[in-house]
């Protein structure tokens, strides 16, 4: 086989053409806490904006999923679960998957390997105490990973859903990977915090609805996973929930799409395609070490 041979179709269950996963990164106030940890501000605005998520966004998103008969994967920072102790038990009761998303939504580049492990183990302990279950999945805050984090996921038998090296389930360094995608993440289109730090105004829902229905069509055509990722405080807003309702109508009207949680996708991959796309993630050497540089 050459590198330009057609890619064999991913073996989705029951002959399905593609897969769709509805995931929620329940960030709430956690990224604000992490960013301000050394110097907590007096200002209420961002904290209130993010607190909308647990107050209104979560019940609204949960009602939407219930109406469409879809189980979601909710990745919750431990500090959010600690602040809102009803959240994990309520999600589990409703049949959703709950997964790890850091303790304080700590950013990978800002913690040591030891701190990462400490926070991860602490978060697992909190999930166990609140739900009686051990979470099976991890999603990294801001979707970055290190070799140490992958090794820890492997040690703790967690799948990861943070990388985007392929568009179908695979494994990286022995860890089952359920890939994400920036183009199906609500934050890049809608996140707007004010105060001058934003890239531009939030997009209207028409443009995003068009983009995501196109993603859905392309996913069916190429047999990929469409991993939709929304945030409680962003897509829980009325007009965005209304758009999601329309989008989910499309998903459920297509019988050839496998609608699954990230945990179900990981279990399927391990059971039916464990040898497929077993990747080793490694980084190339610096250009400064390259012979072409030395000769320059
Ligand atoms: Zn997050």
Number of domains the chain is built from: 1
**227 occurs within a structural domain:** yes
* CA 157 to ligand 1 centroid distance, Å: 21
**7 occurs within a structural domain:** no
Q: How confident is the model at residue 2 (pLDDT cuts 50, 70, 90)?
A: low
Rounded Cα distance between 92 and 74, Å, is 10
* CA 20 to ligand 1 centroid distance, Å: 20
* CA 23 to ligand 1 centroid distance, Å: 11
Instruction: Give the domain range for residue 228.
Output: 13-294
* CA 209 to ligand 1 centroid distance, Å: 22
* CA 231 to ligand 1 centroid distance, Å: 8
**243 occurs within a structural domain:** yes
**2 occurs within a structural domain:** no
* CA 114 to ligand 1 centroid distance, Å: 21
Task: Label each residue of the chain as H, E or C.
Answer: CCCCCCCCCCCCHHHCCEEEEEEEECCCCHHHHHHCCCCCCCCCHHHHHHHHHHHHHHHHHHHHHHHHCCCCEEEECHHHHHHCCCHHHHHHHCCCEEEECCCCCCCHHHCCHHHHHHHHHHHHHHHHHHHCCCCCEECCHHHCCCHHHHHHHHHCCCEECCCCCCCCCEEECCEEECCCCHHHECHHHHCCCCCCCCCCCCCCHHHHHHHHHHHHHHHHHHCCEEEEEEEHHHHCCHHHHHHHHHHHHHHHCCCCEEECCHHHHHHHHHHHCCCCCEECCCCCCCHHHCHHHHCC
CATH of the domain at 135: 3.20.20.370
Model confidence over 215-262: pLDDT tens digits?
Answer: 999 999 999 999 999 999 999 999 999 999 999 999 999 999 999 999
* CA 84 to ligand 1 centroid distance, Å: 16
* CA 266 to ligand 1 centroid distance, Å: 20
**3 occurs within a structural domain:** no
**5 occurs within a structural domain:** no
* pLDDT the model gives residue 3: 87
* CA 105 to ligand 1 centroid distance, Å: 6
295: pLDDT strictly greater than 80: no
* CA 283 to ligand 1 centroid distance, Å: 25
**4 occurs within a structural domain:** no
- In the chain, the percentage of residues whose pLDDT exceeds 90 is 94
**8 occurs within a structural domain:** no
């Amino acid at each position: 086989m050459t590198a330009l041979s057609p890619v064999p179709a991913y073996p989705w269950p029951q002959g399905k053409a593609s897969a769709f996963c509805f995931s929620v990164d329940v960030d709430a106030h956690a990224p604000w806490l992490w960013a301000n940890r050394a110097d907590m501000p007096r200002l209420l605005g961002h904290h209130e904006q993010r607190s909308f998520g647990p107050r209104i966004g979560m019940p609204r998103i949960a009602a939407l999923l219930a109406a469409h008969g879809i189980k979601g994967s909710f990745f919750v920072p431990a500090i959010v679960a600690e602040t809102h102790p009803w959240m994990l038990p309520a999600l589990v009761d409703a049949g959703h998957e709950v997964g790890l998303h850091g303790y304080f939504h700590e950013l990978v580049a800002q913690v040591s390997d030891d701190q990462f492990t400490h926070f991860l183990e602490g978060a697992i302990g909190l999930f166990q105490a609140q739900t009686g279950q051990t979470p099976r999945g991890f999603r990294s805050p801001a979707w970055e990973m290190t070799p140490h984090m992958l090794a820890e996921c492997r040690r703790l038998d967690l799948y990861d859903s943070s990388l985007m090296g392929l568009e179908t389930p695979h494994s990286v360094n022995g860890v089952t990977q359920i890939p994400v995608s920036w183009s199906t993440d609500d934050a890049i289109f809608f996140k707007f915090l004010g105060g001058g730090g934003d890239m531009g105004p939030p997009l209207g829902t028409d443009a995003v609805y068009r983009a995501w229905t196109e993603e859905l069509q392309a996913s069916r055509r190429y047999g990929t996973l469409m991993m939709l990722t929304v945030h409680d405080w962003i897509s829980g807003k009325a007009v965005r929930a209304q758009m999601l309702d329309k989008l989910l109508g499309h998903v459920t009207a297509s019988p050839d799409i496998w609608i699954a949680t990230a945990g179900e996708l990981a279990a399927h991959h391990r059971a039916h395609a464990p040898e497929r796309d077993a990747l080793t993630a490694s980084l190339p050497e610096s250009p400064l070490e390259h012979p072409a540089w030395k000769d320059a």
